[in-house]
Amino acid sequence: MSEAKLMSLSFQHSRLRSAFFGALIVTSLVFVAGCSSDDSIGYEERPVEQIYNHAMDFLHDEKYQKAAQEFDEVERQHPYSIWARRATLMSAYSNYMVNSYDDAILTAQRYIALHPGSNETAYAYYLVALCYYEQISDVGRDQKMTEDAMASLTTLIQRYPQSEYARDARLKLDLTRDHLAGKEMEIGRYYEKKHDYIAALGRFRTVLEKYQTTTHVPEALHRLVEVYLMLGIKQEAQTAAAILGYNYPGSDWYQDSYGLLAGQGLKPEENKDSWISKAWHTVF
């Protein structure tokens, strides 16, 4: 993914977050007057207006943990008020802002369960996806969080395909798939170095079958050429090289694959009955 695209994603996320937060503030202005901004949080029974406004004070002061506690208090003390629903989502947002991802996810999911038809439910789904997405680790570690991010982003896109959150989710989903493909490539290279060619083949095949829109596909095709030549399955190696050369003719990976074939007196040639050919043309 290019640096420009990553910068665009960061800007898009900031814009979406600001737009959502601004909308909530506008609808909350009725409670602004006459409330104290005392930093202490009491748990005595209080009017909903006082609790909610106190939470908003904390939020404006970027005291997100205290804001989350006060928004939770709105829901606890006044669960049937019109502001309890909004406070739930604001609590999720406040927890997200201090990287309390587990709390943010649980609260946003509770909002989704209680208010599936709300105009703000799309943002709740988006918030859950962001919490998983921002915890994605490097490819050398377990990818459970990456898989959760991909599932959450996919759910958001499927449920709210026309929303502005879905547009951002599609971009993040591309990055998430690329990350998972990178993990498969790392494991595949490890097996190949250990001369466990069958295990390596499975990993490179997964990239080609599941992650064909990622940046790792050219290398995956080249690794298939390497592995198949090591296994003596020349026709599959020729097919992988042919598809690589047709779709990425100027890549270093193709030049390397071409050289490997030439060294054995072979040339790229696609076998239409190969799983490689079928997998490729199923998507493209």
Options 3.40.50.2300, 1.25.40.10, 3.30.360.10, 1.10.10.60; CATH for 184-283 is: 1.25.40.10
Looking at residue 51, its pLDDT comes to 85
Q: Of the given ranges (26-40, 130-144, 215-229, 268-282), which has the lowest mean pLDDT? A: 26-40
Whether 12-135 shares its CATH topology with 184-283 is answered yes
Determine the residue type at 230. Answer: M
Query: CB under 8 Å to 130, separation ≥6 — which residues?
Result: 13, 96
Contact 212, 178 (CB under 8 A): no
Mutual angle of helices 197-210 and 217-231, in 10-degree steps: 150
Domain ranges of the chain: 12-135, 184-283
Task: Tell me the two tokens of residue 165.
Answer: 């959150």
Closest CA to 167 of 13, 6, 23: 13
Looking at residue 138, its pLDDT comes to 63
Res. 173: pLDDT tops 60: yes
Confidence bin at 26 (pLDDT 50/70/90): very low
pTM for this entry: 0.72
Looking at residue 46, its pLDDT comes to 81
Q: Of the given ranges (35-44, 72-81, 203-212), which has the lowest mean pLDDT? A: 35-44
Judged by DSSP in three states, 132 sits in helix
Q: First-to-last CA distance in the chain?
A: 20
Fold observed for domain 12-135:
1.25.40
Determine the residue type at 238. Answer: Q
Task: Tell me the two tokens of residue 169.
Answer: 């989710």
232: left (phi over 0), alpha (psi -120 to 50) or beta: left
Q: Of the given ranges (1-10, 119-128, 144-153, 244-253), which has the lowest mean pLDDT? A: 1-10
Task: Tell me the two tokens of residue 276.
Answer: 């490689």
Looking at residue 18, its pLDDT comes to 53
Closest CA to 75 of 114, 101, 105, 37: 114
Closest CA to 55 of 22, 81, 88, 98: 88
DSSP 58-113: HHHTT-HHHHHHHHHHHHHH-TTSHHHHHHHHHHHHHHHHTT-HHHHHHHHHHHHH
Confidence bin at 82 (pLDDT 50/70/90): confident
DSSP 204-228: HHHHHHH-TTSTTHHHHHHHHHHHH
Looking at residue 55, its pLDDT comes to 86
- CA-CA-CA-CA torsion sign (64, 67, 69, 72): negative
